[in-house]
């Protein structure tokens, strides 16, 4: 049985391989636009990882706070050019005073927080009136198994994601219940990568430690998935057919305002 919890200390050193320097991420642009639009002076990212997105937001304000459970990830974010105020703990108990932030966001992280309702309540508490909560990520409940080739080739990954990720619908519902105004989903990026033939082996997201999906797998289960991909490549070469491996799913921003 695959574990549902990943210790990010184990993969912190290699984590940033997912962010090649040439890539411009639309979700980063969406965050930047939001921060500018609401004139955010104080910003907190929960599950801030290596500080990649906070660094981008240094264009908007110097008051950037990163909060993460993993010491290894926090250590990586100390080397960022922008000075970040960092703290360690769990997102369901934030060590900040009421009404401290104009913007609180998380990227690819809410599924790690365990009790997402408790996190949303904490976000509401530490946001200033008029402040915004933005939850960014993909929703495997919507993506479906065909949306990401990783789900097709690696045993149990899709089922585990269904267990780990709250659906976008349930997060919006909880934001509404907590008191956020006008919670709504917006697609801020569309992941659309088509790897042709053996180019798939260069996909940085296929590395064992690049995503929690694969990092949660034992070596054996990971190698079984890699073998399936390689067998498929061999079969297509033998049949002189072109095979493609697709990642094709939306990344959403779930946004609500504290009245």
Chain contacts with ligand SAM (rule: CB under 6 A):
8, 46-49, 52-53, 68-70, 73, 90-91, 107-109, 112-114, 212
Measured from each CB, the residue nearest to ligand SAM is 49
CA angle 256, 258, 259 (to 5 degrees): 120
Least separation, in Å, of the C-beta of 60 and ligand SAM?
A: 17
Q: Which of 100, 236 has the CB closer to ligand SAM?
A: 100
Residue at token pair 């360690």: 88
* Cα distance between residue 112 and residue 116, in whole Å: 9
Least separation, in Å, of the C-beta of 37 and ligand SAM?
A: 21
* Cα distance between residue 41 and residue 237, in whole Å: 55
Q: Which of 121, 233 has the CB closer to ligand SAM?
A: 121
Q: Which of 115, 182 has the CB closer to ligand SAM?
A: 115
Least separation, in Å, of the C-beta of 15 and ligand SAM?
A: 7
Q: Which of 119, 222 has the CB closer to ligand SAM?
A: 119
Least separation, in Å, of the C-beta of 105 and ligand SAM?
A: 9
Query: Rounded to the nearest 10 degrees, how much is the dihedral formed by the CA atoms of 79, 81, 85, 87?
Result: -30
For residue 90, how many C-alpha atoms fall within 13 Å in the half-sphere facing its CB?
Answer: 11
Least separation, in Å, of the C-beta of 19 and ligand SAM?
A: 7
Element (H, E) at 129: strand 127-137
Q: Is residue 131 within 8 Å of 102, Cβ to Cβ?
A: yes
Least separation, in Å, of the C-beta of 18 and ligand SAM?
A: 7
Q: Partners of 254 in the beta sheet?
A: 135, 185
Q: Is residue 47 within 8 Å of 26, Cβ to Cβ?
A: no
């Amino acid at each position: 049985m695959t574990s549902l919890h990943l210790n990010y200390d184990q993969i912190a050193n290699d984590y940033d391989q997912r962010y090649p320097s040439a890539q411009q991420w639309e979700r980063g642009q969406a965050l930047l636009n939001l921060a500018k639009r609401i004139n955010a002076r104080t910003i907190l990212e929960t599950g801030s990882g290596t500080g990649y997105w906070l660094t981008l937001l240094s264009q908007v304000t110097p008051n950037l706070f990163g909060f993460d459970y993993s010491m290894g990830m926090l250590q990586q974010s100390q080397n960022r050019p922008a000075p970040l105020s960092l703290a360690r703990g769990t997102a369901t108990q934030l060590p900040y005073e009421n009404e401290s932030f104009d913007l609180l966001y998380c990227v690819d992280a809410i599924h790690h927080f365990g009790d997402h309702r408790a996190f949303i309540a904490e976000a509401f508490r530490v946001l200033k009136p008029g402040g915004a909560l933005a939850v960014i990520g993909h929703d495997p409940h919507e993506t479906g198994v065909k949306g990401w080739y990783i789900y097709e080739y690696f045993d149990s990954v899709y089922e585990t994601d269904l267990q780990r990720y709250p659906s976008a619908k349930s997060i919006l519902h909880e934001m509404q219940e907590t008191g956020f105004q006008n919670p709504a989903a917006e697609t801020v990026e569309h992941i659309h990568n088509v790897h042709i033939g053996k180019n798939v082996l260069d996909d940085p997201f296929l590395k064992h430690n690049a995503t929690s999906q694969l990092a949660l797998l034992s070596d054996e289960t990971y190698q079984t998935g890699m073998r399936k991909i390689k067998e498929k490549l061999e079969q297509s070469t033998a049949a002189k057919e072109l095979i493609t491996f697709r990642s094709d799913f939306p990344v959403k921003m779930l946004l609500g305002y504290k009245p």
